[in-house]
Every structure is written in structure tokens, then in C-alpha cells.
Chain A
Amino acid sequence: MTGKLRHLLLARRGGASWHWTDVASYAYLALGVLLMFGPVLWLALSSFKTPAALLEFPPSLLPMAQSEVSVPGYPQPLPLFRVTMEDGSVRELAQVRRVGIIAQMVDPAAPGQTIRVPADRRTPVRHMALAVENYTDPLTQFDFLRFLRNSLVVTVVATIITLVINSMAAYALSVYEFRGKSLAMLGVIGTLMIPITIVLAPVYLVVTKLGFVDSLWAVILPGAATPTGVFLLRQYMLTIPRDLIEAARMDKASEWRIYARIVMPLSMPALAVLAIFSVMWRWNEFLWPLAVLTKTEVHTLPIALNAFQGELQTQWHYLLAMTVVTLLPVALVFAFLQRFITSGIANTGMK
């Protein structure tokens, strides 16, 4: 494992020394990693910051908090500073209060004596502190689990319906010859050009008439058949040799069996790609659920996260933490399905 990792991180184009192209490649890849993972890392680290640390300027990368110390004679813990004294020595003192440019400090070791120090002579002593309450508070107060469940139901059910319906359409459009086939395909592709904002109102009316408002079906059904999915699967199915389908027909297989036993297993890579897309679309979908899900108990995660963003203030610490939690399932799905994608790419080299 570590050997593989070493190989991955230190691979060169060959030869013993580093060629300039090696350096250039690594620099380019490092830039790519920084651009793609930088924001995610920033998000993850920031999600552990306290509200005060989030607003701090200049910002720190790691979640830090100022150290505090309990000093006898003072009821509250006092913030700890590192102070450069007039004689040049450096001492760690606790601050009692600050008046203008002068800070009243006290040595925790000798609490009886107050020391007056210019405010610009001290720097806060800080340590790394994870604000875990950013995660725990919403999970208890905010009904996170319910929203997670809603999002899961929408994503899983919608993805299954999408895969089944789209693959059937793609099967018909790739395997059968019938009059108007190209026209049907053109119609499917044509709907790609209509943005959701245009059809929002009419679809809303349809959903209302069907009585789906404030039920998860209102989110699941309208997007179940996607032109992108039909197109993607059809293009892939066109690459399945016709001989296989004809062989299955000779083998007395019904059309349903050919679809289920031959075409679906062979389309696995394309289905995996569509599943990843569908999960990402459904998990992150915002505008449409916002329109049709008005009751809190049917909110999905993105809508629920929106609640942290008020008109006057935004609870960034909760928002960031819950965003991290929201990202996790999609990342897991991708990690699980990506081997199908790579195998799909590898398969294209097969005869």
C-alpha cells in the first residue's frame, strides 16, 4: 500500500534523475489539486472554527482559538497573551481588562500584582481547537436526521426510477428500428435546450393538480426521465454489437430478457455514470424542491441548509459544518461507483 503510494507520488518519466517535464507535470498537477481540493479543504477546516474565528482577519487556515487560563481572584477564565516587556524579555500574562491602548495584565503565577502593558506589545497565545459543537448542535437542535432521510429517499428512489426509465427509452432508441425513431431522439435531445426556470411554473401547476405538493414525489417524479440520461445510455448501447442481441433472439430470449440479461449488464459503465450524475443532481437540487416543498418536515438537505442563511445574519459555522456533512454521501457514492467508470473506459479498448 505504502509502496504503491510512494510510486504514485514519486513516479518519473524514466531515468534516474528528474527531467524538467517531471517537474512541470508535478507543478501542473499540484496546481490542479490546489484548485480542486483547496476550496473543499478550506470548507472542511473552516467548519471546525468558532463563529469568532470565522470572522477573524487575517484568516487562519487551521481552526484556532485563544488559550484561556483561570487565575485565582478572578471569577472568569482570562485570555492568555505573550507580552514583550520593556526590558526585552517575553512573558505569558493573562489579560484582566483593556482600557484604550493600555492593557491590564496579571501573571497567572503571581496573581496579586497587576501589570500595565501597551496593547500593541502583546500577541494572543493560541492553540488548535475544533469547534465540534458546529456539528453536534445542528444534529440535536436542528432536525438534521429528518432532512437527511428526506434527501436519501429522494436521491435513491429518483435514481432508481431514472435508471430504469432512461435505460428502457435508450434500449428502444438504440436497438429497434421504427418509423419516427430519429424524430423521437431529436425530441428527447431538444428538451435539453429548455431550462428548468422556463418550465418551473407549468410543472408546478401539474404537480399541484396531481396533489403532490409537500410530498417527496413532487421532487422525485418530474425529473425522473432526463434527456441527458437517455442520450448517454443510447450512445453506449449503440456500441453493443448487434450480433449479441440477435444471438439472444436466436436463443429464444424475450425482449424483456434481452433488456434485463444482456443489454443492462453490458451497459453497466454507462449506468454507473448516469447513477453518479443522478445522485449528484438529486442530492444538490435546490430550486425545484424549494418551490414545491413548503413544509419543514419534507425539506431536503439543501433547502434545510438554506435556513441557516437568514435575512439579517448567516450562521456560517453551522452552514459550513452541515455542508461538509451534505458532501459526504456524494463523495462516498462516487468512490464506490468510480471503478465502474474506469472499467467502462478500459472496455472501450476491447474488440
Chain B
Amino acid sequence: MAGLELRGIRKDYGGTAVLKGIDLSIADGEFVVFVGPSGCGKSTLLRVIAGLETVTAGDIHIDGTEVTRTAASDRGLAMVFQSYALYPHMTVSQNMSFALENMGIAKAEISSRVDRAARMLRLTDYLQRKPAALSGGQRQRVAIGRAIVRDPKIFLFDEPLSNLDAELRVATRKELAALHAEIGGTMIYVTHDQVEAMTLADRIVVLNGGRIEQIGTPLDLYNRPANLFVAGFIGSPRMNLLPTELVRGEAAGDVTGRAATLGIRPEHVEPCQEAEADLTVRIDLVEQLGGETFLYATGPNDTPLTIRCDGQSRLVRGDLLPVRFSRDHLHRFDAAGLACRPEPLLARSHS
């Protein structure tokens, strides 16, 4: 098990810069998730760490040792691929023992490690099967098993759940979390699904356009997004972002005087009396989930607004609804999209 340190990582393909200077330090035993939209460079960053891509500039340290020019096979990391990349001509047990054979480990030790991993992942009955005879979830577990048996310094996961159906994804997500708790290795996980990121991560690294937008614990990112991108990316349904001038009354007032955009999460918008309303919106769509209701509405200037209410709602499309924003949960962003800080209200609510 080991920590990882990235310093000024840059990666160009021809003239295109994919990673534009990444500095990141990951502690031993941490579960870090790289999240971001497609093309943000998160997979490239993972491949750079794995050694499958060379860097254009910058250096990589694992456990204090520089490995920037070390071949992938000598870095001692294990990777679970999006496609699982199981060797189709080998049985499950051969798939899992391949790396151990390459490392020159004794046969008895190999079989005991494979057995242990198979028990952990409930694969014992499938050890003699070929990958083609397994279901998606089982293949997934074999791919994880192949990483576990090696006892690697760091586990790398490249969107490992994206080929599973929704139900299996939730189940496997839980298993991954349990696995991390059990073996406690350093894990780096790439996904574009922010629910996976929120549920699995000790820390989330939000990437966009080859840069790190923000690093922090899941709730940190949720409660204190550093900029508009993170505010919009983390949270589902996404945060409402409104131009400041649209909102009447004291909600718009901000201490710094720089705020150009106001952010408010759907659960912090409450229906209220006309007199105390910050905004009046027209309902476009009502999503009744039973336990909660999402109202999709339009404010002045066709600004969309999403509202989450507890329980069930009697509102229908076309209704006018005065709403009020919870003062403690307002996010303010300046013209450049950065959060306006210090922000006394937020700071108080989270201190």
C-alpha cells in the first residue's frame, strides 16, 4: 500500500493538451475518485498514473520513489479496465493467476491467493469457467479479483461499473465500498457518474478540460463548491444557477458585492406565501417519486428552476408558485465563475 504524488503533470497529443498541469497528492489507503464530464482527461490521468501513457511534463512519485519513466509492469499497480479486459482464452483462475506467475510466485502461494480472492468475491464456483461463460457482474468481479490477488501498491479503476445495468451497478458499488473497507488499499477510481463519486470516495477530484477544478470530500464539494463548474456538476438534480439581478429582496444582497450568479440547490428552494417570495415561477413538469417530488419550473426570462419537496405535491403544470430560497444555503459566484468567499452565511452554517 502506498501514497501517490503527482507534480505538474502535462500530457499533449500532437498539439492538443489533454492534461494541463495536474498537482495531486493521495495518501496511503485513501479512496480517491476522479470525476468529470467526457473528455476532461480523467481516464488519461489514470493511464498516466498506470504507466500506460507517458507524460509530456511533470513527475509521478509512488511511495516517495519517482516512477515517471518506469514501465507500467514495474510500477506495481493493478488496474481494472472499463471493458474488464479478461483474457478470453484463459479460465477465471488462469486470469487471476497470470500476474502472479509473471511475478515468479510459487504455485502453492498462487493457488492460495486465488482461492482467497475467489472466496472474497464469491467466484469459487466459477474458477474453471472461461470469461465468455460468465455474466457481466461476474466478469466484473473477476477483473477486480485479478487486481486483488496481486496485492498491489495502488488499485486503479477505469469506469468499472459503466457496463453493468443499473441494479447491478448499485450492488457492485456497495461491494466495492465494502472491499475498500476490508483490504484498505489505496484506490483511484475514475467515473463520470457523480453518484458513484459521492458514495465511494474519501476525496473527490473534479476534473474539467484537463485541469483540477476542486479537490475535497464529497460533502465538502456539495456544500462548498469552489466554482460554477463544480456547483453544477456535483448534485442531482443539479444546482439552480440564477443571475443575481433576477432575484428580488434580500436574497440577492451579498456582502462582497461581486456576485453575478446565485446558486441554490433544489432542496433549499421552498414554496411560500407571495409576500415573502424571492421569485415566482411557473411549473412545467411535476415528477412524483412518492417520497419526494421534483418540480421543474421556469422563472422570469425563461430561467429554469428545479425544486425538491418532501412527500407528494398537488401542484400541476401551469401553476404559479412563489418560492423562497433558504438563506443559509445560498451560493454566490462572481463573474469569473469562482465562489465569492468569505461568505459569512455559509461559513456560519458549516462551522
What's the interface size class on A, roughly? 10 to 19
Chain B residue with Cβ nearest A249: B72
What's the interface size class on B, roughly? 20 to 34
* Cβ-defined contact, A243 with B88, below 8 A: no
B263-283 CB mask vs A (1 if < 8 Å, else 0) is: 000000000000000000000
In the assembled complex, which residues on chain A have CB atoms less than 8 Å from the CB atom of B50?
250
* Cβ-defined contact, B85 with A247, below 8 A: yes
* Cβ-defined contact, B72 with A241, below 8 A: no
* Cβ-defined contact, B73 with A253, below 8 A: yes
B102 contacts chain A at the CB level, 8 A cutoff? yes
For the complex, give the distance between the alpha carbons of A244 and B146 in Å: 13
A265 contacts chain B at the CB level, 8 A cutoff? yes
* Cβ-defined contact, B102 with A247, below 8 A: no
Known: A243-B81, A252-B73. A266 touches B103 (CB 8 A): no
For the complex, give the distance between the alpha carbons of A110 and B131 in Å: 84
* Cβ-defined contact, B89 with A266, below 8 A: yes
In the assembled complex, which residues on chain B have CB atoms less than 8 Å from the CB atom of A249?
51-52, 71-73
Interface secondary structure of A, over-half rule? helix
A257 contacts chain B at the CB level, 8 A cutoff? yes
B70 to chain A, nearest CB (A): 12
* Cβ-defined contact, B77 with A250, below 8 A: yes
* Cβ-defined contact, A243 with B83, below 8 A: yes
Which B42-76 residues have a C-beta within 8 angstroms of A? 50-52, 71-74
For the complex, give the distance between the alpha carbons of A251 and B90 in Å: 14
Known: A246-B52, A246-B85. A254 touches B79 (CB 8 A): no
* Cβ-defined contact, A246 with B81, below 8 A: yes
- Scoring B51, B85, B150 by chain A CB atoms within 10 A of each residue's CB, the highest score goes to B85
In the assembled complex, which residues on chain A have CB atoms less than 8 Å from the CB atom of B98?
248, 251, 253, 261
B132 contacts chain A at the CB level, 8 A cutoff? yes
For the complex, give the distance between the alpha carbons of A145 and B102 in Å: 46
B78 contacts chain A at the CB level, 8 A cutoff? yes
* Cβ-defined contact, A252 with B87, below 8 A: no
Mark B residues whose CB is within 8 Å of A.
Answer: 50-52, 71-74, 77-79, 81-83, 85-89, 98-99, 102-103, 132, 146, 150
Given contacts A250-B79, A251-B150, A265-B89, 12 further A-B contacts (CB under 8 A): A243-B82, A244-B87, A246-B52, A247-B86, A247-B146, A248-B87, A248-B98, A249-B72, A250-B77, A250-B78, A250-B99, A266-B89
